[in-house]
Amino acid sequence: MPTPDRWGETFSDDVVAAAMIDRLVHHAEVLTLSGDSYRT
């Protein structure tokens, strides 16, 4: 899945992608995690 800054390329329309992102994060809280990753 592309990162949100590349959704305009995925949906071929930056305005639609921006509207989707706005709806997704309107009530969201952004968490910044630090430390080592456990993914392999």
- d(CA 15, CA 20) in angstroms, rounded, equals 9
User: What pLDDT shows up at residue 38?
Assistant: 84
The 10s digit of each residue's pLDDT in 1-40 is: 778 778 788 888 888 888 888 898 888 888 888 989 888 6
18 contact partners, CB below 8 Å, separation of at least 6: 8
